[in-house]
Chains A and B, each alone.
Chain A
Amino acid sequence: MNTPMHRFKYTKLTKEQIDKKLKDIKDGPVCASEYSDVLAGKSLKIVTDDGPALEYKFDKKKNILTLTENDGDPIKSGYGALTLKQMVFFSHMIPKTQKGYNVFVDLDTNLVTVFEVWLSSGKKEMTMSQKEIVIDDREVQRQIYYGYVEIAGQEAPKERHHSTNRLEGTGMYWKQDTGIETLDLYPSVFSSNFVELTRHVDDLSYCSPSDYIMVDDNMFIYDRTECEFSGIMTLYALDLFTETQAGMRLGLNEKDELEYYMFRGTGKVVGHLTSLAPFDEHGESISLGAAPKAKPGQEPAPPPKGQRYAYRPERDFINMTEEEVHQAAEKSTTTFSSVPEGPQAEAGMMGGNILPFSDLLVGKEFTLRYDHEGPVWEYKVLDLYNLQWREEGETQWQKETYRTFEADENLVFFAHIHSGSRPRTARRIALDLTNGLTTLILSKMGTKYYGNEVSYRAIFGAAEMEGVPSPQYVRHEFTDELVGRGFTRSYSDQMTSMHLYTTPHSSSWTIYMGDQTLGAQWCAPAIYVKLRDGVYIFDLVEEGCNGAETCIIENEKTKRACGFGYSGGARGVGLNTIGAIARDIGGYDIKHFFGPKAKVKGV
């Protein structure tokens, strides 16, 4: 059975185990395409800023190079070289080590970008809760150096390749010479989304720390490292004019097999997201991560070698059992407010921009009948904050506090907790008062993985309500209409993220930085339901992360989102309101990459 990346338990390989995996690296990378002989018989002396001096001699006939690093002893290694227009890219490891170099030489300018890569870093990081962790040895590290090829008698060039925001928002489809197809979406300046179209079967997207380097207006260098997954690195130069790439992949896959190969690829730009960064911001300097904490009496140290932003949410997540979560829920189940019947929602971080509560249901009595022997519930709505419900056929009513938003004309979205349920259950109900259609997002605490991760499902049905029709065949449906699109979500003036609907079954969220450049990202499985034209339910659980659910209705006409968050942990279980103001920032034409053809048409 396929296990998606965010659920896969990658082996904690030791340095010694990795040594064994790397035993053949002396031969250099393999490649499905023919290597270039452009370097054969040549010598290169590469000078880098704040990095090593690398002196290369390339064998005339074989793909073997001799490297002298910082005037050290010469080292022989196999290598591979590919060209991409004026760019020569060669890759090699240093035998009997876990370190190597990937060198991009721009023959037009003699400028060079060097990626030093290594495994078994022993690197320590502080988690979000300030817990020190050691990064897995299998995670490929990288340090980027900018420099030039030294040519006798010529002055060193003053220009350098540099980091850039020029790719921020661009999305590419790629097909490598290996046959592997991916969608590589670049919505951030230091992270990226990728969808494995051929390696995986679940049409899920993932996020990885990434670098974006500008060579010229059409040529860039990009890399990603699958931190918190296999730790594998993909690095390539891409030319936007010809939509071609040349790169390499290094690391240990989910089977713990070494992947060290170079590749060529052809692709297509699939679209763009609009950058909201200032027009005079070019991304040449990207500040990664909060300032490290200083020791008393000292200023913070400069960033360590290989520093990058890597979101590692699971490192802080404390898995709880079903029993532990139940006990926490018994102690504290918060619905919207610490005062359940209070008029003011304590909306918190996600609710600074909530819609007003709707009274459309007040005084109404109705039955919600869900398909396939799903639940049948009778409701009496008492006032703006309280309702009663019962299972069909029961005599006793159960009172709950609830909140309703009017997401579109006469389309309400209301939610409440099922008090006393085990596991604690929450209902988010979209009810169309014009046609009687209803969708229930039924969530409960706990998945098969752990007790404090929300599990959820969408159930379609119809309402029985005075003056409202009750269709027997027509239903709301899952949809892929949103796939590829990006929207900002301003939950308050202080917090805006961007939802990118990456596949029919997943979505990413990206946090805007202070200057509205897109920064930190993460991804999770999600579902999409179409309620009306331009009105959708989007429901996502931060799986393998913090287990929290975001369930919103988004209305493309009003650019407003309203809904509810549901989560639980040691502090108890909470159902909260969510409200956001959106901006449509464009999207990618990628729907046709997913699913069986019949489904690709959408609803």
Chain B
Amino acid sequence: MTILKPISEFKSSLMQPNAGRRSFIWKAGAAFSALFATTIMGTSKSRADETGTLNEQVNQLSNQLGIHEDTNAIRSLHQTYESHLDRGMYEKVVNLFADDGEVVFNGGIYTGKEKGIRRLYCDQFRSGFTGRKIEPAPGFQPDPAQHQDIVEVTLDRKSATGQFPYSIQVGTPMASNSSLVEMARLQGEGIKKWWEGGIHEVSYVKEGDSWKIKRLEYRVIVKANYAPGRSYAKPIDVPAFAETYPADPTGPDKLV
């Protein structure tokens, strides 16, 4: 599975200049600065020019406003995603994806909303109660300054990308058929659980007036043997998926 750099390194890599992308992508924060700057500059133009410029400005402002709305909509979409996961509403999570969406999780790629993605959330995640939000493990708390969301919407407002930190419980059913495990399963347990912190790297696509998740990658920074209430944690290694579906009934469609 993908091994990530520590969060500080990862974050600083996000801050590197990327002229190619910035030429057609508006950053949400930058959009507001540009909005005011353009308005002030427009006052010194001739009337004819002014009309054209004004139209252009109106269009631009309108687009910028739209981008701002899109940015908020995407943040809201991600909050919904996290909220559904937190409450174990896995079916509702699936509905947030585009039909041809995909998810990268634990070294596997799940493709297609109704097949791979449903299998990931409704089988794999549900069986381990994966996705419940828990606080970061002691000693692994990320730097708050780096703990921020980033949303970027393309100028044509048809697609977007986002990065959101996450801190969740991940679980997988214990691989045993002993009576202890079977009994534990019946009471909703028999699950090996750990804490996982990282970044959701997401791309979005607009379908009609609403945004859908096109691709979501769990970029893990650290996994630790932590449960809420514990005072310590240590990092653990969790094997990535080794088999694909159907050999692994809840496995991915492809390995990374």
Residue ranges of A at the interface with B (Cβ–Cβ < 8 Å): 128, 278, 287-291, 293-294, 296-299, 309, 311, 313, 348-350, 491, 493-495, 497, 509, 511, 513-514, 519-522, 542, 545-546, 548
Please state if B185 and A290 are interface contacts (CB–CB under 8 Å): yes
Return the 6 tightest CB-CB contacts between A and B, nearest first: A349-B176, A520-B183, A290-B188, A519-B187, A128-B182, A511-B183
Given contacts A287-B188, A291-B126, A514-B189, contact A278 B183 (CB under 8 A): no
Given contacts A348-B176, A349-B176, A522-B179, contact A511 B187 (CB under 8 A): yes
Given contacts A128-B182, A348-B178, A545-B179, 19 further A-B pairs with CB under 8 A are: A128-B186, A278-B229, A289-B186, A289-B187, A290-B187, A294-B90, A294-B91, A309-B186, A311-B183, A313-B182, A348-B176, A349-B176, A349-B178, A350-B178, A494-B192, A511-B183, A511-B184, A513-B189, A520-B187
Please state if A495 and B180 are interface contacts (CB–CB under 8 Å): yes
Size bracket, chain B contacts: 20 to 34
- Closest B residue to A311 by beta carbon equals B183
Please state if A495 and B181 are interface contacts (CB–CB under 8 Å): yes
Chain B residue numbers with a CB within 8 Å of A495 are 174, 180-181, 184
Task: Please measure, in the bound complex, the distance between the C-alpha atom of A294 and the C-alpha atom of B192, giving whole angstroms.
Answer: 22
Task: Please measure, in the bound complex, the distance between the C-alpha atom of A7 and the C-alpha atom of B179, giving whole angstroms.
Answer: 19
Chain A min CB distance to B159 (Å): 27
B154 interface contact, C-beta 8 A:
no
User: Main secondary structure on chain B at its contact with chain A?
Assistant: helix
B205 interface contact, C-beta 8 A:
no
Chain A residue numbers with a CB within 8 Å of B179 are 313, 522, 542, 545-546, 548
B142 interface contact, C-beta 8 A:
no
Chain B residue numbers with a CB within 8 Å of A348 are 176, 178
Chain B residue numbers with a CB within 8 Å of A309 are 186-187
Chain A min CB distance to B36 (Å): 46
Chain A residue numbers with a CB within 8 Å of B255 are none
* Tally of contacts, chain A with chain B, CB under 8 A: 78
Chain B residue numbers with a CB within 8 Å of A299 are 89, 91-92
Task: Please measure, in the bound complex, the distance between the C-alpha atom of A520 and the C-alpha atom of B188, giving whole angstroms.
Answer: 10
Given contacts A491-B180, A545-B179, contact A291 B88 (CB under 8 A): yes
- Closest A residue to B178 by beta carbon equals A349
Chain A min CB distance to B173 (Å): 10
Chain B min CB distance to A62 (Å): 46
Chain A residue numbers with a CB within 8 Å of B189 are 290, 511, 513-514
Cβ 8 A contact of A288, one of B89, B184, B185, B187? B187
B118 interface contact, C-beta 8 A:
yes
Can you give 15 A-B contacts (C-beta < 8 A)? Answer: A128-B186, A289-B186, A291-B188, A294-B91, A294-B122, A296-B122, A313-B179, A348-B176, A349-B176, A350-B180, A495-B180, A511-B187, A513-B189, A514-B189, A542-B179
Q: Digit string of B180-203 for contact with A (CB within 8 Å is 1, else 0)?
A: 111111111100100000000000
Chain A residue numbers with a CB within 8 Å of B229 are 278
Please state if B118 and A349 are interface contacts (CB–CB under 8 Å): no
Chain A residue numbers with a CB within 8 Å of B182 are 128, 313
Task: Please measure, in the bound complex, the distance between the C-alpha atom of A491 and the C-alpha atom of B229, giving whole angstroms.
Answer: 22
Please state if A493 and B225 are interface contacts (CB–CB under 8 Å): yes
Cβ 8 A contact of A290, one of B176, B186, B192? B186
Chain B residue numbers with a CB within 8 Å of A546 are 179
Task: Please measure, in the bound complex, the distance between the C-alpha atom of A514 and the C-alpha atom of B132, giving whole angstroms.
Answer: 14
- Closest B residue to A569 by beta carbon equals B177
Task: Please measure, in the bound complex, the distance between the C-alpha atom of A520 and the C-alpha atom of B178, giving whole angstroms.
Answer: 14
Task: Please measure, in the bound complex, the distance between the C-alpha atom of A509 and the C-alpha atom of B192, giving whole angstroms.
Answer: 20
Please state if A296 and B188 are interface contacts (CB–CB under 8 Å): no
Chain A residue numbers with a CB within 8 Å of B180 are 349-350, 491, 495, 497, 509, 511
Chain B min CB distance to A492 (Å): 9
Cβ 8 A contact of B174, one of A128, A294, A298, A494? A494
B141-195 residues with Cβ-Cβ distance < 8 A to A are 174, 176, 178-189, 192
Chain A residue numbers with a CB within 8 Å of B88 are 291
- Closest A residue to B95 by beta carbon equals A297
Chain B min CB distance to A168 (Å): 14
Chain B residue numbers with a CB within 8 Å of A288 are 187
Task: Please measure, in the bound complex, the distance between the C-alpha atom of A392 and the C-alpha atom of B187, giving whole angstroms.
Answer: 51
Of B181, B184, B185, B192, most buried by chain A (CB within 10 Å of CB) is B184
Task: Please measure, in the bound complex, the distance between the C-alpha atom of A289 and the C-alpha atom of B189, giving whole angstroms.
Answer: 9
Chain A min CB distance to B126 (Å): 7
Task: Please measure, in the bound complex, the distance between the C-alpha atom of A134 and the C-alpha atom of B164, giving whole angstroms.
Answer: 47
Task: Please measure, in the bound complex, the distance between the C-alpha atom of A290 and the C-alpha atom of B90, giving whole angstroms.
Answer: 15
Task: Please measure, in the bound complex, the distance between the C-alpha atom of A602 and the C-alpha atom of B92, giving whole angstroms.
Answer: 61
